Chains A and B, each alone.
Chain A
Amino acid sequence: MSLLKVTDLVVSYGGIEALKGIDFEVEQGQIVTLIGANGAGKSTTLRTISGLVKAADGRVYFEGRDITDYDTQKIVETGIAMVPEGRRVFPNLTVLENLRIGAYLRKDKDVIEEDIEYVYDLFPRLRERSWQLAGTLSGGEQQMLAVGRAMMTRPKLIMMDEPSLGLAPLVVKDIFRIIRTLKDTGMTVLLIEQNANAALHTCDYAYVMETGRITMRGTGEELLASEAIQEAYLGKKSQ
Chain B
Amino acid sequence: MFQTIFPYLLTGISVGGQYALIAIGYTMVYGILRLINFAHGDVFMVAGILMVYIVASGAPLYVSIPVVLILTALIGFVIERVAYKPLRSAPRMSIMISAIGVSYTLQNLVLYITGGLNQFYPKIPFISDSVTIFGATTKMVTVITPILTIVLVVALVLLINHTKIGMAMRAVSKDFETSQLMGIKINNVISVTFVIGSFLAGVGSILYFSNYTTVIQTSGAMPGLKAFVAAVFGGIGSIPGAVVGAFIIGICESIIKGLDVILMKAGLTKQMLGLATFSDAFTFALLIVILIAKPTGLFGEKITDKV
- Where the two chains meet, the residues of A that have a C-beta atom closer than 8 Å to any C-beta of B are 50-52, 72-73, 76-77, 81-82, 84, 88, 90-93, 97, 100-102, 104-105, 133, 135-139, 142, 149, 153, 166
Known contacts: A90-B171, A93-B167. The answer to whether A142 contacts B180 by CB under 8 A is: no
Q: Tell me whether B168 is interfacial, beta carbon within 8 Å.
A: yes
Q: Are A52 and B304 in contact (CB under 8 A)?
A: no
Contact pick for A133, options B173, B175, B181, B304, CB 8 Å: B304
Known: A90-B174, A101-B167, A101-B171. Contact between A135 and B184, CB under 8 A?
Answer: no
**Contact A139–B167 (Cβ < 8 Å):** no
> Would B182 and A101 count as touching, CB distance under 8 A?
yes
Shortest Cβ gap from A135 to chain B (Å): 3
Distance, CA A135 to CA B178, complexed state (A): 15
Whether A76 touches B175, Cβ cut-off 8 Å, given contacts A93-B170, A137-B306, is: no
Q: Does A100 lie within 8 Å of B167, measured CB to CB?
A: yes
Bound Cα distance A224, B170 (Å) = 45
Which residue of chain B is the closest to A137 with respect to CB atoms?
B306
- Chain B residues near A84: list those with CB within 8 A: 177-178, 181
The reply to whether A90 and B175 contact each other, CB–CB distance below 8 Å, is: yes
6 tightest A-B CB contacts, nearest first: A135-B304, A105-B183, A76-B183, A88-B178, A72-B180, A73-B183
Known: A72-B183, A91-B174, A101-B167. 11 other contacts (CB 8 A): A51-B180, A52-B180, A82-B181, A84-B178, A88-B175, A90-B171, A90-B175, A91-B304, A93-B167, A100-B167, A133-B304
A142/B306 in contact, CB under 8 A = yes
| A152 nearest in chain B by CB position | B182
Kindly list chain A residues whose C-beta atoms are within 8 Å of the C-beta of B167: 93, 97, 100-101
What separation, in Å, do the CA atoms of A88 and B178 have in the docked complex? Answer: 7
Contact B305 A104 (CB under 8 A): no
Are A90 and B184 interface neighbours, CB within 8 A? no
Known: A90-B174, A93-B171. A104 touches B180 (CB 8 A): no
A-chain residues with CB within 8 Å of residue B307 when the two chains form the complex: 166
Which of these, B170, B173, B185, B305, contacts A135 with CB under 8 Å?
B305
Residues of A within 8 A of B170 (CB): 90, 92-93
Measured in the bound complex, the distance between the Cα atoms of B189 and A73 in whole Å is 13
Q: Give Cα distance in the complex from A26 to B33, angstroms.
A: 37
- Which of B173, B177, B182, B185: most chain A CB closer than 10 A? B182
> Is the CB–CB distance between B177 and A136 below 8 Å?
no
**B165 to chain A: closest CB distance in Å?**
10
**B270 on the A face (CB < 8 A):** no
CB-based contact B168/A52 at 8 Å: no
Q: Which chain A residues lie closer than 8 Å to B177 at the CB level? A: 52, 84, 88
Closest CB in chain A relative to B28 CB, distance in Å: 14
Question: Are the CB atoms of A138 and B306 closer together than 8 Å?
Answer: yes
Scan residues 153-205 of chain B and give those whose CB is less than 8 A from a CB of chain A. 164, 167-168, 170-171, 173-175, 177-178, 180-185
Q: What separation, in Å, do the CA atoms of A239 and B137 have in the docked complex?
A: 97
Which B residues lie within 8 Å of A166 (CB)?
307
- The smallest beta-carbon distance between B245 and chain A, in angstroms, is 20
**B181 neighbours in A (Cβ, 8 Å):** 50, 52, 72, 76, 81-82, 84
CA distance A188 to B178 in the complex (A): 21
Residue of A nearest to B301 (CB): A92
B167 → A minimal CB distance (Å): 6
Docked complex Cα distance between A165 and B164 (Å): 31
Q: A102 near B182 (CB under 8 angstroms)?
A: yes
**Can you offer 23 A-B residue contacts whose CB atoms are under 8 A?**
A52-B177, A52-B180, A73-B184, A81-B181, A88-B177, A90-B178, A92-B173, A92-B174, A92-B304, A93-B170, A93-B171, A97-B167, A100-B167, A101-B171, A101-B182, A101-B184, A135-B305, A136-B304, A136-B306, A137-B306, A153-B182, A153-B183, A166-B307
Smallest Cβ-Cβ distance to B180: which chain A residue? A72
A73 with B305: CB separation less than 8 A: no
Instruction: Give Cα A51 to B173, complex, Å.
Output: 20
A105 to B184, CA, bound (A): 8
A-chain residues with CB within 8 Å of residue B306 when the two chains form the complex: 91, 135-139, 142
Which of chain B's residues has its CB closest to A136's CB?
B304
